[in-house]
Chains A and B, each alone.
Chain A
Amino acid sequence: MVNTLFRVTPSGWAGMACLALAIFIVPEIVGTRWLSVFTSTGCFALAIAGVAFMYARLGMVSLTQVGLMGVGGWVTLRLNHAFDFPFEVNMGIAALVTMICGWILALPALRMRGLYLALVTLMAAGGLEIMFATFQFPNGGDGFWGVQTGSSDPFRRPWLAQSPQAYMRYVFVCVALGFVFIEIHRRLKPGRAWALIRRSEAAAIAAGVNVTLYKTWAFGIAGLLAGGAGALLAGSLGLLDDGTFRASESVMIFALAVVGGARYWYGAILAAVLFRVLPALLNNWGVDADLSFVIFGAGLLHAVITAPDGIAGQIRDALLSRRKGANSGKGGADA
Chain B
Amino acid sequence: MTVSGLKNWLLWAAIMAALILWFSWGQRPTMVGLFIASGLAVGSLYALGGIGIVVLFRATGVLNFSGGAAGAAGAMTAWQLETWGLWPPLAWLGCIAVALAFSLFYGRIVAPRLAWRETVVKAVATLGYALIILGLVSFLWADDPRSISLPTDGVGIRFLGMRLTATRLLVFAASIAIVIGIYFFLARSKVGLQMRSLADDRDLSALIGIPILRVETIAWGIAGVLAGFTGLMFADLIRLEASVITFMVIPSIAAAICGRLENLTVVLVGGLSMGVIENLLTLSPLLRGVRPIAPFVIAALVLLWYQRGQKLTFGGKD
Q: Which residues of A contact B (CB under 8 A)?
A: 59, 61, 108, 110-116, 118-120, 122-124, 126-127, 130-131, 134-135, 200-202, 205, 211-212, 247-248, 251-252, 254-255, 258, 288, 290-301, 304-305, 308
19 further interface pairs, Cβ-Cβ under 8 Å (given A108-B303, A296-B128): A61-B120, A111-B310, A112-B303, A113-B318, A114-B118, A116-B303, A119-B303, A120-B300, A130-B292, A134-B290, A205-B312, A211-B312, A290-B138, A294-B135, A297-B128, A297-B134, A300-B127, A301-B129, A304-B117
Interface pair B63/A288, CB less than 8 Å apart: no
Task: Determine if A115 and B132 form an interchain contact, defined as CB atoms under 8 angstroms apart.
Answer: no
Min CB distance B43 to A, Å, is 16
Report chain A residues within 8 Å CB of B314: 201-202, 205
Q: CA A126 – CA B65 in complex, angstroms?
A: 14
A121, B99: Cα distance in complex, Å? 28
Q: Which of B7-15, B156-164, B207-215, B247-255 contacts A (4 or more CB under 8 A)?
A: B247-255
A296 to B138, CA, bound (A): 14
One of B63, B250, B299, B312 near A115 (C-beta < 8 A): B63
**Is chain B's interface secondary structure helix, strand, loop, or mixed overall?**
helix
Q: 10 nearest interchain CB pairs?
A: A293-B135, A300-B128, A297-B131, A297-B132, A294-B135, A290-B138, A114-B318, A123-B296, A290-B139, A134-B289
Q: Is the CB of B119 within 8 A of A115?
A: yes
Q: Are A294 and B131 in contact (CB under 8 A)?
A: yes
Tell me which residues across on chain A come within 8 A of B296, comparing CB atoms. Answer: 123-124, 126-127, 130
> Which B residues are in CB contact (< 8 Å) with A294?
131-132, 135-136, 139
Please tell me if B121 contacts chain A, counting CB pairs below 8 Å.
Answer: yes
In chain A, what residue has the closest Cβ to B256? A119
Q: Would you give the 0/1 interface string for B215-249, flagging 1 where the beta carbon is closer than 8 Å to chain A?
A: 00000000000000000000000000000000100
Residue B17 at the chain A interface, CB threshold 8 Å: no
- The residue that A114 contacts in the complex, of B119, B133, B253, B299, with Cβ under 8 A, is B119
Q: Is the contact region of chain A dominated by helix, strand, or loop, or is it mixed?
A: helix
Q: How far apart are B244's CB and chain A's nearest CB, in angstroms?
A: 11
Q: List 28 A-B contacts (CB under 8 A).
A: A59-B118, A108-B307, A110-B312, A112-B303, A112-B307, A114-B120, A114-B318, A115-B63, A118-B123, A119-B303, A123-B254, A126-B296, A127-B300, A130-B292, A200-B315, A201-B314, A251-B65, A290-B135, A291-B135, A292-B135, A293-B131, A295-B135, A297-B132, A298-B128, A299-B128, A300-B127, A301-B125, A304-B114
Q: Which residues of B contact A (CB under 8 A)?
A: 63, 65, 110, 113-114, 117-121, 123-125, 127-136, 138-139, 247, 250-251, 253-254, 257, 289-290, 292-293, 295-297, 299-300, 303-304, 307, 310-315, 318
